[in-house]
A and B are shown apart, each in its own frame.
Chain A
Amino acid sequence: MSEFRGVDFFLLDELLTDEELAMREAVRTFVDREFIDNRAIEEHHRAGTFPRDLPQKLGELGVLGPTLPDEYGCLGASSVAYGLMMQELERGDSGLRSFASVQGSLCMYPIYTFGSEEQKRHYLPKMARGELVACFGLTEPDHGSDPGGMETKAVRDGDGWVLNGSKMWITNGGIADIAIVWAKTEEDIRGFIVPTDAPGFSAPSIEGKFSLRASVTSELILQDVRVGPEALLPHSGGLKSPLMCLTQARYGIVWGVIGSMMAVFDEALRYTGSRTQFDRPLSSFQLVQRKLVMMHSELTKAQLIALRLGRLKDEGKMKHYHVSFGKRNNCKAAREVAKLGRELLGANGVCDEYQVMRHLMNIESVYTYEGTNEIHTLALGAHLTGHAAFRG
């Protein structure tokens, strides 16, 4: 049994409902049993393999698209509950959380928001159960922070479409059954549900990652991929549509990285408490305490931000700049916490017997994807000043 202890310095648990607490506990136990206690996550990380039964297990647990309504096989859970689920998954590994973020926030959300009733009924229940895996194709090799510059095109062909282009850094790409592909039509940017077995579609894996090694990252290549009219997400239109998806996923990351921080802090606190140098526990030294306090403070502040953000989201008051604030702050905090945790574990901190280095490596991706720190800084700058520094 894992001895993991979460952090609740400001008694935030008192602000959570019994239901939210019970759901957090259930996901925490799931992650312990399936990935931590048996060290499965270390093995996947070391081998660079994706746990192939993860989609189905997460589906059974209920963490895929859980905020969507139960009429589509989802739970209708609160956004705070969703955040806590992402926190607990990422406490295990950012790769686990990334899978759930992509499936739920980046793929189920657009089908729910921009899809036809028929598309929703066809896809969402299977996706919630993890029977159908999806990926989200927005970023391109030459267009990362500036997705509006995309080159992927969709051209009308009879009553259907022909898609050409390529997408990069696509989580779940190689294991997906469908891809939500964003492409420029003559009129606007639109979203398409593309079956990954369509002729002309391929998803070569991106190898050699030092980060998110238990997660599949791929390139998507679309060469004259023909899809029927039913592939188009009818209510999608403009760059705003994929950006709305990103807001959802970024919200999950604001919570997710708290899990990473908790794992690292818990490990560092235990390690420095039990390791003796100069006849005293490491944690009795001032310089060690300073690092522990810095980690704990960043973690606690991140929790306060996430909970307020979640309640705003549930009340329908959350704006994209609130999410930018949370993503920017919490990812930066998690990066710092992972680094300090690694330092506190000394040489042991670089081995995968401990978790800190895995989290440290993972967080580099999480810090970068879904809007870099710089992009969120500029989004906030634009909100404060009215001047969008990233537009020409």
Chain B
Amino acid sequence: MKIFVCVKPVPDTAAKIKVGGGASIDPAGVKFVLGPYDSRAASKAIALRDAAGDGSEVVAVAAGNPNKGESEARKRIKDVLALGADRGILIPDESYENRDPLAVAKALAAAIKNEGEFDLVFTGRQAVDDQAFSVGPMLATLLGVPCVTDVVGLEVDGKTATVKRAAEGRVEVLSVNLPCVITAQRDLAEEQYPKLKEILKANKKKIDTFSFEWPAPAYRVTELSPPPEPAAGKIVGEGPDAVPELVRLLREEAKALSF
């Protein structure tokens, strides 16, 4: 089985994002990490490879600016290699910060097509920084394969996969033909942290460079402003009578309850 995992460096969720003075966030003091959904996607891909046995491989793919520091994209590929992936592909892009999702999807599709046949491509359901939710479905379209989004469970049997996805208020079970693109929800795999031995091995694994002629941006961010101050809390009533309304709001608006 040949599996690709597309990943993106995102600011640590604990990082304080500073905006103002341009169209990108101030990266000073921001720690970049492997996105939490990307990381679950990688863990699932590696588990599938291990179950499939000999001849299977997991390839981590990322686009990023190769000149910034030691390239956050290369580091995130290494993160996936440290979880156990076999090799990586870096797509250099000196204007990565201004790149729109369609361009990124085109680059990823070109890199994957260049590798020939494949069975599965994973992305995270979203990047936790720009939250565009776009690259996975666009990538599937460009590759001409089905896409299943928000996947929480996946079993492969030959050339089909049984996929569970989180829909509103229910879990859908689908049968999907391979190859396909899967965008990972958090529950797709348990969070793994790399073993130290794998971190050392990761440094010896191959990361190839794939050159891509980047198209002119189809859209670009022109301005960033801080999010509005959160609205003051809402008092829905007093005493036991208020409980049903509170539960309704927690379930429907805050999405804090799932029952």
Contacts and interface: CB of A to CB of B under 8 A. Distances in A.
A18 B78 contact: yes
Contacts of B197: 62, 75
A26 B78 contact: no
Nearest to A62: B196
Interface string B155-172: 000000000000000000
A22 B79 contact: yes
Interface in A1-53: 1, 3, 5, 18-19, 22-23, 26-27, 29-30, 33
Contacts of A62: 195-197
B194 A26 contact: yes
A22 B78 contact: yes
B191 interface: yes
B18 interface: no
A1 B199 contact: no
B14 A33 contact: no
Given A18-B75, A18-B78, A33-B191, A26 B199 contact: yes
Given A1-B13, A22-B78, A75 B191 contact: no
Contacts of B194: 22, 26
B88 to A, nearest CB: 14
A33 B39 CA distance: 15
A18 B70 contact: yes
Given A19-B203, A22-B78, A22-B79, A3 B14 contact: yes
B259 interface: no
Interface in B18-40: none
Given A18-B78, A29-B193, A23 B199 contact: yes
A244 interface: no
Contacts of B79: 22
A61 B196 contact: yes
A85 B78 CA distance: 19
A262 B14 CA distance: 17
Nearest to A63: B196
Interface string B197-217: 101101100000000000000
Contacts of B195: 26, 60-62
Interface in B189-248: 191, 193-197, 199-200, 202-203
A66 B193 contact: no
B154 interface: no
A78 to B, nearest CB: 10
B75 A1 contact: no
A75 B200 CA distance: 8
Given A22-B79, A75-B200, A77-B196, A1 B14 contact: yes
Contacts of A1: 13-14
A233 B61 CA distance: 50
Contacts of B70: 18
Nearest to A2: B14
A77 B78 contact: no
Contacts of B193: 26, 29-30, 33, 61
Interface residues of B, number: 17
Contacts of B191: 33
B82 interface: yes
B200 A19 contact: yes
A66 B196 contact: yes
A22 B199 contact: yes
Contacts of A26: 82, 193-196, 199
Contacts of A22: 78-79, 82, 194, 199, 202
B13 to A, nearest CB: 7
Contacts of A85: 196
A113 B70 CA distance: 37
A27 to B, nearest CB: 8
Nearest to B36: A1
A63 B194 CA distance: 12
B30 to A, nearest CB: 12
Contacts of A30: 193
A22 B200 CA distance: 9
Interface in B124-179: none
A18 B82 CA distance: 12
Nearest to A31: B193
A71 to B, nearest CB: 13
A26 B82 CA distance: 10
Interface in B67-85: 70, 75, 78-79, 82
A62 B194 CA distance: 10
A206 to B, nearest CB: 32
Nearest to B33: A25
Interface string A77-90: 10000000100000
Nearest to B195: A62
Nearest to B199: A22
Contacts of B13: 1
A60 B195 CA distance: 7
Contacts of A75: 196-197, 200
Q: Which of B13, B194, B196, B197 lies at the interface centre, i.e. has the most chain A CB atoms within 10 A of its CB?
A: B196
B199 A19 contact: yes
Contacts of A19: 199-200, 203
Q: Across the A-B interface, give the 5 residue pairs with the lowest CB-CB distance, nearest first.
A: A62-B196, A29-B193, A22-B199, A26-B194, A62-B197
Interface of A: 1, 3, 5, 18-19, 22-23, 26-27, 29-30, 33, 60-63, 66, 75-77, 85
Given A23-B199, A63-B196, 14 more contacts: A3-B14, A18-B70, A18-B75, A18-B78, A19-B199, A19-B203, A22-B78, A22-B199, A29-B193, A60-B195, A62-B196, A62-B197, A75-B196, A77-B200
25 contacts: A1-B13, A1-B14, A5-B14, A18-B70, A19-B199, A19-B200, A19-B203, A22-B199, A22-B202, A23-B196, A23-B199, A26-B193, A26-B195, A26-B196, A26-B199, A27-B196, A29-B193, A33-B193, A60-B195, A61-B195, A62-B196, A63-B196, A75-B196, A75-B200, A85-B196
